[in-house]
Amino acid sequence: MPRFSDQELGMGRKITRRDFLDGVAVTAAGVAAATALPGAAQAAPAAHGHGQHNQNAPYPPTQTGLRGQQPGAYDIAHAVRDGDFEAGLITDTRESYDLVVVGGGLSGLAAAYLYRKHAGPSARVLVLDALDDFGGHARRNEFHVGRTMLLSNGGTVNIDTPSTWSREARDLLTKDLGVDLKALAATVKSDAYAPYSLRSATLFTAERWGKDHLVTREPGESWASYAAKLPMSAASRSALVRLNTTTEDFYPGLTDAQKKEILAHTPYETYLREKIGLDDDALEIVKRGTNGLWGVNVDRVAAADAWATGQPGFGGLGLTNDPWPGAGFTPLMQLKETEEDGNFYFPEGNASIARLLISKLVPDAFDVRRPDWREIVTAKADYSTLDEPGNRVRIRLSSTAFEVRNDGRHSVVVAYSKGGRNYRVKAKGAVMACWNSVTSYLVPELPDEQVTAMRYGVKVPLVYARVALKDWRPFAAARVSRVSTPSGFFSSFGLPTVTEIGDFAMPHRPELPTVVSLSATPNSPRLVCREQHKAGRRQLIRMRFEDFEREIRDSMARSLADHGFDPARDITAITVNRWAHGYAYEYNSLDDPALFLPESERPYAKARRTVGRIAIANSDAQAFGYTHAAFDAAYRAVADLV
């Protein structure tokens, strides 16, 4: 419950709040464009060459308010799922392609690129996506505060542990797209905030702890010293110290494999309670430590995965990186870093990778022709070029497929809806790079076993909110860079990573604008993971932009009002990236017995079988919500077709 009134929070302030219908801003121009054939609105202006981009074209990265899977974007898909969709008149566009890709995320864009790499530059490809921006979860958020451009990721953040990537995925990133990982790591300025002696902090809210406390931890401060400042009992503080400092072996006499066997079947919360001695108060501030990777709290993450990803409490077990017999690694146990790995991060997250793929597919899409990995960050995209009739590759946004079927042995027919009208195109093949659950409703020829397999996984719901501030003086006054908010809707908020890449440099002086990031992974503890994700999704779909905005303003005000923060004055824009259907479901050893079967017998492997000329991509097909999994799925799907 907010502590401040709406007036104090600045809820009435005139920041941009747009309404969208199927990803299109509701304006007279939008209605007019919706009545034309696909691509006609983009083709109407005189053709413009490189450097002469359409300044009036929509530019989704700068749109604020409720973004991601915004209201209206999934209405048609839900109607198809519920059996309520009536196609009515379907206009044949008379377009014919070599490949149609359903889904314009990283997997879909990679599939389009890899197909043309094999088939040749004359191959014609159409990419359909239900959202109004390309990249899927690789979303760019762009703010302009005065003359300052601020960038942030609206979804997937970084390039994780490339040493574990397949050769095909790594070659796509480093050779085809030209990303120099070593040079990219050097663009992160890890010491940018050093002059300000910033610390981490935790907000203990009045509803749970009697009054609002902002407790900071000094760099290098011992756990005993830090715990002494926490508003909880001595027993709770002692348990937290033990959690972070223990060197005790809780399974004496057992082998490495035997310990991992136990941990793989033990919820991390059970381990924390029974082995470390955490009570409810101590758990309150650590329970969300697993949210960022799994979207659920410690109650439904295996202790084995918690250990593998660096969660505390395992210091005395003496575990090795070797797999345990009979099961091998759980998925995230594969992500151990090596010397090759580092902080590979674009200021807009992996949206830069999506933009690099677009630059390969539609050469005139940016004001820099075929920008390299440095230039792509500041290159301006002209969205009016994406679906021009002369393109060999056409990217058709705000277009929701509702049926994909084989048409004989050598072609497919794809029907989709755009702007309230329905269309049909033909192709020699199709790649379904949308979610598996969506594909299960769109392809009528799928056998029942494959449909069941496709609906097994449940996307992880999540929210990435981004807040543009006119400056960050209150953070400097409080000497904090990130605040954990364990009892609030959002898990934390904090200052951005500072990067300097190409012509872009993230401002990092307190008197300059900045963009603050917040994250949330709504769930329902005690249920199995898939049911928790469904409950979180239902919550997100019900929430309005104003609900998110109030939570953002309140948590920041509670934390920083004593240091001069005024949400009504300091906030200039808010973008809420709502991903009710977020990252791919990853199997875990608590809830997914199939994890212990040969891969070919797991639901995600059964789900990705090609049906005629229809192949399956998306990270769902790998059951792994990472960029390289999306690439691997694209590579496999294209190989299945060609």
- DSSP labels for 35-84? TSPTTHHHHSSPP--TT---TTS--GGG--EEEES-TTTTHHHHHHHHT-
Mean pLDDT by 10 residues, the chain (642 residues): 70 51 30 40 37 73 94 88 91 97 98 97 97 97 97 94 93 97 96 96 95 95 97 98 98 95 96 98 96 95 93 96 61 50 90 98 94 97 97 97 95 96 97 97 97 98 97 98 96 97 96 98 96 96 96 97 97 97 95 93 97 97 96 98 94
Tell me how many helices (H) and strands (E) the chain has. 24, 25
Residue pair 141/152 in contact (Cβ under 8 Å)? The answer is yes
Q: What's the rounded Cα separation, in Å, for the pair 244 and 407?
A: 60
Q: What's the rounded Cα separation, in Å, for the pair 432 and 614?
A: 7
Instruction: Determine phi and psi for 530, rounding to 5 degrees.
Output: -65, -35
What confidence score (pLDDT) does residue 205 get?
96
- Cβ neighbours of residue 61 under 8 Å, at least 6 residues apart? 133, 140, 141, 142, 351, 381
Residue that the structure tokens 């990777």 belong to: 293
To the nearest 10 degrees (0 to 180), the angle between helices 106-119 and 627-641 is: 40
Burial class for 405, CB neighbours closer than 10 Å (0-12, 13-18, 19+):
middle
So where are the chain's domains? 222-334
Distance in Å from the first CA to the final CA of the chain:
56
CA distance to 104, 441, 507, 622, per residue, from 432 (Å) = 10, 12, 40, 14
Structure tokens at 569: 């004055």
Tell me which long-range contacts 315-323 makes (C-beta under 8 A, separation of at least 24). 315/245, 315/246, 315/247, 316/246, 316/247, 316/248, 316/249, 316/250, 317/249, 317/250, 317/251, 317/259, 318/249, 318/256, 319/256, 319/259, 319/260, 320/256, 322/256, 322/257
Residue pair 93/414 in contact (Cβ under 8 Å)? The answer is no
What confidence score (pLDDT) does residue 87 get?
87
What confidence score (pLDDT) does residue 35 get?
33
Q: What's the rounded Cα separation, in Å, for the pair 294 and 536?
A: 13
Residue pair 422/87 in contact (Cβ under 8 Å)? The answer is yes
Q: What's the rounded Cα separation, in Å, for the pair 577 and 519?
A: 10
What confidence score (pLDDT) does residue 409 get?
87
- Cβ neighbours of residue 195 under 8 Å, at least 6 residues apart? none
From the list 137, 169, 166, the residue with the least C-alpha distance to 153 is 137
What confidence score (pLDDT) does residue 34 get?
33
CA distance to 18, 493, 517, 519, 566, per residue, from 548 (Å) = 15, 13, 13, 11, 18
pTM to 2 decimal places:
0.92
- What one-character DSSP code corresponds to residue 634? H
β-strand pairing of 480-484 with 199-204: parallel
Q: What's the rounded Cα separation, in Å, for the pair 20 and 46?
A: 28
β-strand pairing of 148-153 with 430-432: unpaired
What confidence score (pLDDT) does residue 452 get?
98
What confidence score (pLDDT) does residue 19 get?
30
- What one-character DSSP code corresponds to residue 449? H
Q: What's the rounded Cα separation, in Å, for the pair 251 and 265?
A: 14
- Cβ neighbours of residue 420 under 8 Å, at least 6 residues apart? 22, 34
What confidence score (pLDDT) does residue 41 get?
34
From the list 592, 624, 622, the residue with the least C-alpha distance to 608 is 622
Helix (H) or strand (E) holding 469: strand 460-469
Residue pair 308/333 in contact (Cβ under 8 Å)? The answer is yes
What confidence score (pLDDT) does residue 15 get?
61
Angle at 54 between CA 48 and CA 59, to 5 degrees: 140
